[in-house]
């Protein structure tokens, strides 16, 4: 329940540039997904990127699988009359050796005719980000875990 | 459903200063509104600013109309015993020619005696921001769209 | 209901470094709490830090009391099968004389087997932050107010 150690806790230093570019990447990236622009969204992963989730039996590996999975979801939601809005928050950044780790909360809101806007799920999202060579980021590995009761 | 193009997607570069000043502007601005300080809040628009929403028949044009509209809403909410909290998130910034475009998600939470805190609506907010001459921003044009079922 | 003054409203200037370091502090700090790492979390307060809330009869004063209070809450939630996710948003920063004031919205989401993810409460969080000497921040005083009907 509580730490055994009381060693000083160090919040990893991030430069203002790193912070801004990560936030900007996520904002544009999530809006692409919620707008149904799945091919643009998939380009936010590396060519060999991995999207894993504890709710999915197999991770999607590579952009092709990532596009295929997201396209199926977008088609299903459209059939069911559901829009989604993915919010990332409390983005805790840990710079590493050539990569950046970002652990965030992600809440998925959904909008339907019957219920209006409501919370669909609360998840924790762990990303490994690498530079895209143009000042922004690509996701090399994403793991999304459903938040569960304690 | 999906893009026809697979041309590289470029996330617009933002400087750390721009990112920080836009976030700081929105944080203070939204808190003014939710605190009922509508005249201070209206000063976050240009003198000839426009506030348009797909839920309103006519846009409010100029600070005077913007104050009048917000004051009516604040008075109605007070009568009904409703407090609101406007959250902006996933703020996607696109710097332009002397202006900055910001497309954000906005969720309005409301607090009532009967229901406690709940989600009132999920919207998408498109702003055109111009420098206020003192290091922050003014909204020249805002368009708020209700998020609707797919 | 509305301001009597129409004097120009100035949004306090924040440097990009300050903005980034405050956001990064809060992200890591809240994740420690929600992960049940209460001793690490308590180290995010000064040794003599104060955690006050209008829902609590007495403020917790000093890290020892802060740890004790948070540990009790974490144990109760575990018994009840409740997980929580604390989101801070609309973080309005006002730099002062050697300290930084941050007034934020805080929504607590909770996850239970019966209800999934839902909103537990909407609050306003007023912090006085001081430098931790290692590029990040410590909370010297926190006051959390439940948002109430108008």
CATH code, domain carrying C59: 3.10.450.50
Assign A146 a pLDDT band (cuts: 50, 70, 90): very high
Report helix, strand or coil for A145: strand
Q: Does B28 touch chain C (CB under 8 A)?
A: yes
Identify the pLDDT of residue A9.
82
Report helix, strand or coil for A38: helix
How buried is C49 (Cβ within 10 angstroms: 0-12 exposed, 13-18 middle, 19+ buried)? Answer: buried
Give the range among A30-34, A133-137, B1-5, C89-93 with minimum mean pLDDT: B1-5
Identify the pLDDT of residue B1.
40
Per-residue model confidence as pLDDT tens digits over A66-97: 999 999 999 999 999 999 999 999 999 999 98
User: Do the Cβ atoms of B27 and A41 come closer than 8 Å?
Assistant: no
Give contacts of B20 with chain A, Cβ < 8 Å. 16, 20
| Tokens, residue C13 | 């200037």
More confident: A56 or C14: C14
Residues 6+ apart with CB under 8 A from B131: B137, B138
Count up the domains in chain B and report the number. 1
User: Do the Cβ atoms of A117 and B121 come closer than 8 Å?
Assistant: yes
Domain membership flag for residue B56:
yes
Interface test mutation site (partner C, options B30, B68, B111, max chain C beta carbons within 10 A): B111
Residue B63: domain span: 16-134
Low-confidence stretches of chain B (pLDDT beneath 70): 1-8
Domain membership flag for residue C33:
yes
Q: Does C117 touch chain A (CB under 8 A)?
A: yes
- ipTM of predicted complex: 0.94
Domain membership flag for residue A9:
no
Domain membership flag for residue B141:
no
Domain membership flag for residue B84:
yes
User: Do the Cβ atoms of B86 and C147 come closer than 8 Å?
Assistant: no
Q: Tell which residue, C11, C91, C15, C9, has the closest CA to residue B136.
A: C11
What span, in angstroms and rounded, lies between the C-alpha atoms of A141 and A137?
A: 12
Cα A141 → chain centroid: 10
Domain membership flag for residue A72:
yes
Taking the CB of residue B144, how many other CB atoms lie within 10 A of it?
19
Q: Do B136 and C20 touch (CB under 8 A)?
A: no
Identify the pLDDT of residue C9.
82
**pLDDT (mean) for C35-49:** 97
Domain membership flag for residue C92:
yes
**pLDDT (mean) for A115-143:** 97
- How many CA atoms lie within 13 Å of C141's alpha carbon, on the beta-carbon side? 6
Interface test mutation site (partner B, options A117, A122, A132, A139, max chain B beta carbons within 10 A): A117
What span, in angstroms and rounded, lies between the C-alpha atoms of C93 and A76?
A: 42
Identify the pLDDT of residue B7.
62
Domain membership flag for residue A123:
yes
Model's pTM, two decimal places? 0.95
DSSP symbols for chain C: ---S--PPP-PPP--HHHHHHHHHHHHHHHHHHHTT-HHHHHTTEEEEEEEEETTSSS-EESHHHHHHHHHHHHHHHHHHT-EEEEEEEEEEEEE-SS-EEEEEEEEEEEEETTTEEEEEEEEEEEEEEEE-SSSSEEEEEEEEEE----
pLDDT at C12 over 50: yes
Q: Tell which residue, A100, B77, A111, B147, has the closest CA to residue C150.
A: B77
Average pLDDT, chain C: 94
Report helix, strand or coil for B74: helix
Identify the pLDDT of residue C55.
85
Identify the pLDDT of residue A7.
62
Per-residue model confidence as pLDDT tens digits over A96-127: 989 999 999 999 999 999 999 999 999 999 99
Identify the pLDDT of residue B79.
97
């Amino acid at each position: 329940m509580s730490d055994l150690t009381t060693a000083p806790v160090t919040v990893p230093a991030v430069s203002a540039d790193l912070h801004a570019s990560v936030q900007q990447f996520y904002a544009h990236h999530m809006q692409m997904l919620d707008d149904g622009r799945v091919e643009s969204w998939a380009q936010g992963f590396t060519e060999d990127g991995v999207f894993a989730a504890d709710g999915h039996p197999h991770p999607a590996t590579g952009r092709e699988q990532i596009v295929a999975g997201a396209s199926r979801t977008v088609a299903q939601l459209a059939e069911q009359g559901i829009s989604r809005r993915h919010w990332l928050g409390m983005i805790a950044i840990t710079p590493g050796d050539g990569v950046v780790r970002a652990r965030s909360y992600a809440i998925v809101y959904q909008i339907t005719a019957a219920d209006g806007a409501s919370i669909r799920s609360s998840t924790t999202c762990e990303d490994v980000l690498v530079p895209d060579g143009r000042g922004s980021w690509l996701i090399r590995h994403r793991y999304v875990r459903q938040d569960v009761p304690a």
